[in-house]
Homo-oligomer: A and B are copies of this chain.
């Protein structure tokens, strides 16, 4: 025998495409259960539509329709008013895994991997054998076609490409799914869209469910969010490897110029602090050790914080409008924190809100309890809660200290993390990795919101106290009026009226609040 055991074993060696990988491991893309898969599909398309609309400066209107075909077979239709997809990119955009406009840019967008839409095509194909059907109108050019993936090569297959007459700009996708189930409740398509409306008050969503029920989430603000722009990386966000790779592609011939041009917040003044590396050398020639040294210097230099413009939070005002619109709470407190960095220099911003009463929280058989509304770059995270930095942060807080009880009160805890790079736990992007800096910042935001709510609850307790005092006094005032009437011989109703006026004058503020509460109670029921 000439071959070793190893040679025998390695006869079986093969390379595989990333499509084949995810075909076999579809649960990693969010296709892990029959009820979740349909939410994943809606999520991927809505996310892409919103990103495209924002990049094109369009106020998004999204139409989602789910039709039941047979048991566990559904058709999903999604239409947006976005920029559309140029004909020469349609296949790559919807049927190549790891391709897109997002992965390589340092820019805040909802999608960031170039996997989502192609994942939908793959899932449709392996459950129904059918391609997806697309219509696109870029304003210059309208066409329709079928798209599927050649999984062996991770390349698109396009068929029936036809020029069409379509008056409205946008993208229309029709996708058939089997092995799926439409459900109601916390992990439903409806809830996904409701939460999307919560974190995106500038969008409008129309949804038609398989039961032909129609839901409309109206636009609450007419402003398009500020457009995110690709930014230069901050020196504190770099790994040695990043620096080393950037340098090897540099077009500058001096290390100092390369540093000034490639990274944000680098100034000639700051570079003066680096004395033991020759900043005149060719950046393409720096060694790993020099890159390591530079990174060590970077950690000691006092940098300006990363450009605030690179991270676009929802904004306090917008969150308030959205919560009002969707939850109509009795009271809410919104916290917007300042931009910070994690892993040394990736900018991020945390926003939180606590909403109390109204449609906040979850209700089950007359009992209320809190729910946590998690968002990353305005995208609702519905699954894998246990694995998420937001859940971890919520758990670390002693809510009772703030007069809050998550087990019994109608509370919604809203957290949105915005960043040019959200460190997701998995490819399915449903949980933010538990990075300490992120958890801490969420904690601070939540504590601030909790303190805000606490004042209100204390006030409410104070009001309850005053209301009780008022009731007690009113009880006594009845007796007092009778006594005074019998002593003075004056008319009882006259005395009662005067005493009541006196008491009411004193407690006017409290009574007003009480009446408002009554009205809100009516609205709630």
Contacts and interface: CB of A to CB of B under 8 A. Distances in A.
Interface in A408-441: 423-428, 433
A394 interface: no
A360 B384 CA distance: 30
Contacts of A56: 5-6, 9
B101 A12 contact: yes
A5 B138 contact: yes
Interface stretch (A78-86, A158-166, A268-276): A78-86
A57 B6 CA distance: 11
Interface string A229-269: 00000000001110010000000000000000000000000
Contact of A10 (B10, B101, B423): B101
Interface residues of A, number: 73
A20 B13 CA distance: 22
Interface in A79-119: 83-86, 89, 92-93, 96, 98-101, 103-105, 113-114
Given A5-B139, A241-B125, A100 B426 contact: no
A504 to B, nearest CB: 56
A241 B129 contact: yes
A9 B55 contact: yes
Contact of A84 (B6, B17, B25, B125): B6
Interface in A8-53: 9-10, 12-18, 20-21, 24-25, 27-28, 32, 52
Contacts of A17: 98
A13 B83 contact: no
Q: Which among A4, A17, A55, A84 has the highest number of chain B CB atoms within 10 Å?
A: A4
A126 interface: yes
Interface string A129-144: 1100000101111000
A175 interface: no
A128 interface: yes
A96 B15 CA distance: 8
A2 B241 CA distance: 40
Contacts of A424: 25, 27-28
A288 B101 contact: no
A7 interface: yes
B114 A425 contact: no
A108 to B, nearest CB: 14
Contacts of A3: 140
27 contacts: A5-B139, A6-B86, A6-B139, A7-B86, A7-B138, A7-B140, A10-B89, A10-B93, A12-B104, A13-B92, A14-B103, A14-B104, A15-B92, A15-B96, A18-B21, A21-B98, A25-B424, A25-B427, A27-B425, A28-B425, A125-B241, A127-B240, A127-B241, A128-B288, A129-B244, A386-B386, A387-B387
Query: Which 5 pairs show the lowest CB-CB distances between chains A and B?
Result: A129-B288, A4-B138, A126-B241, A6-B138, A12-B101
Interface of A: 2-7, 9-10, 12-18, 20-21, 24-25, 27-28, 32, 52, 55-57, 83-86, 89, 92-93, 96, 98-101, 103-105, 113-114, 125-130, 136, 138-141, 178-179, 239-241, 244, 288, 291-292, 384, 386-387, 423-428, 433
